[in-house]
Structure 1
């Protein structure tokens, strides 16, 4: 196997709310809408939102594998061109409805970062070098 990610899918119990957030707040455009599975245009890697029940019906019902959901398990990091853009975009997406987690700040590793959450509580990052 080649170590490469081709698709990132966020599983949710509320596809319409999450699709609304990722399109209206973060600006993704829908590439394909199949009701409970929606894929977005995304440069570099495919990105989708899928109903948790769809994946469960494929994996849990047939393979007998099920684990309880445990807290924050992934983060999407959105690169921006400038440190000022981190501040501006953070204010913009918070005004559109993203939940504020951590305001823009300079990190010890040299990046300017800010954190926000989507409607399911997934924490994501804006950053610039």
Structure 2
């Protein structure tokens, strides 16, 4: 029986730099380093990203291209604005600035240092 998604893999031109960026900005913990450019970083809820050194044509995904569009990171309501500000101080590329839906769902889309699209999300009521 499937119990959830353990991790999502992200290719990176510089996997160490991207790993360090996630640790610094989001407080992820490095839980695996194979010594060859592959890392696992874990969020507080146990979800993980596998960051792998890219070989070949390493280019970011565009928002409307085929394939994975973005990854969403859950944020608490009281931490949402603080995290957005932290990302802006780091001069991330903003894809879509903060938006709040009529139901109070807050989102903020940005690119990490490798060009991958992520977004922060706060949902007052989980799906």
Tell me the TM-score normalised to structure 1 length: 0.71
1:96 aligns with: 90
**Structure 2: which 5+ runs fail to align?**
none
The CA RMSD measured in Å over matched residues stands at: 2.7
- Could you say what secondary structure the match of 1:89 adopts? helix
Change (3 A) 1:70 1:80: closer
- Could you say what secondary structure the match of 1:16 adopts? helix
Work out whether 1:16 is the aligned partner of 2:22.
no
Give, in whole Å, the separation in 2 of the partners of 1:114 and 1:30.
25
Structure 1 residue aligned with 2:75, among 54, 57, 80? 80
Aligned residues: 115
Please say which structure displays the higher CA radius of gyration: 1
**Structure 1: which 5+ runs fail to align?**
57-67
1:5 is displaced (CA, Å) by 2.9
1:102 is displaced (CA, Å) by 2.3
Give, in whole Å, the separation in 1 of the partners of 2:115 and 2:85.
18
1:46 aligns with: 48
CA contact (8 A) 1:25 1:97 kept: no
Matches within 5 A, 1:62-81: 71-72=62-63, 73-81=68-76
Tell me the TM-score normalised to structure 2 length: 0.72
